[in-house]
Copies of this chain bind each other. A is one copy, B any other.
Amino acid sequence: MRIVVARCQVDYAGRLTAHLPMATRVIMVKADGSVLVHSDGGSYKPLNWMSPPCTLREGATDDGQVEWTVTSTASGKGPGDTLRILLEEVHSDSRHELGVDPGLQKDGVEKHLQALLADHPATLADGLTLVRREFPTAIGPVDLMCRDAAGASVAVEIKRRGEIDGVEQLTRYLELLNRDPALTRLGPVRGIFAAQEIKPQARVLATDRGIACAVVDYDALRGIDDVEDRLF
């Protein structure tokens, strides 16, 4: 890892073109050659960057300024992306051996919500029982396939945040599932849209299509029992 603090100007050309006027910034060059240009604000996203794989060439302009040219060596990109950094004044330039990172461990995303609801389908609707998780269809798996108290099929789509595209997704599944006579013997397949939070527009669209909405309390569900052993 190389870290340079310098007054610089940056130009990017690739899927779009972008320009950064001359100012003092931090430039990180990672071991894989990727480059990040950070300002002293904003957020975790750099102002400009180049993703690996790429190569950095260090040169000089006619008037003696240092110029870096970073070129993407990715396969797919037809006209390779380029990042040009003009260094006017270098305040600091250091290198550090970091070694390989052991990587990140996560917990608490949609998969876990699905595991919890698979264990407690009745929290979505009274008498609901699980048939199968990731029930396969031609256009992808339905999160949960269930049966209601009367034995009719119920498809459940789970999202952490319930937005309009989740309703569209469930609608497509229902359309397909309702063509299967085996599933519709006891009436049409119903849909339940389950999420920790459901946006108003999504709720309106779901209601309009006869899809029920269920707001899920993740912490409460987790309190019912401890499923950590199955999650790892």
Q: Which residues of A pack against B, CB within 8 Å?
A: 1, 3, 5, 15-21, 23-26, 28, 30-32, 34, 36, 38-49, 51-52, 91-92, 94, 96-109, 165, 168
Q: Assuming A26-B28, A26-B96, A44-B45, what are 9 further A-B pairs, CB within 8 angstroms? A: A1-B5, A1-B26, A20-B104, A23-B102, A24-B98, A30-B38, A30-B42, A34-B41, A44-B51
With A34-B43, A48-B104, A92-B94 as contacts: A16 and B99 at CB distance below 8 Å: no
For A100, list chain B residues within 8 Å (CB): 23, 41
CB distance from A199 to the nearest CB of B (A): 14
Copies of this chain, whole number: 2
Contact among B1, B41, B43, B94 with A31 in the assembled complex (CB-CB below 8 Å): B41
For A165, list chain B residues within 8 Å (CB): 165, 168
With A1-B26, A101-B25, A165-B165 as contacts: A43 and B51 at CB distance below 8 Å: yes
CB distance from A130 to the nearest CB of B (A): 24
Q: Are A98 and B25 in contact (CB under 8 A)?
A: yes
Q: Are B40 and A104 in contact (CB under 8 A)?
A: no
Q: Are B44 and A96 in contact (CB under 8 A)?
A: no
* A32–B3 alpha-carbon span in the complex (Å): 20
Nearest to A13 among chain B residues (CB) is B108
Nearest to A25 among chain B residues (CB) is B98
Contact among B5, B24, B44, B49 with A34 in the assembled complex (CB-CB below 8 Å): B44
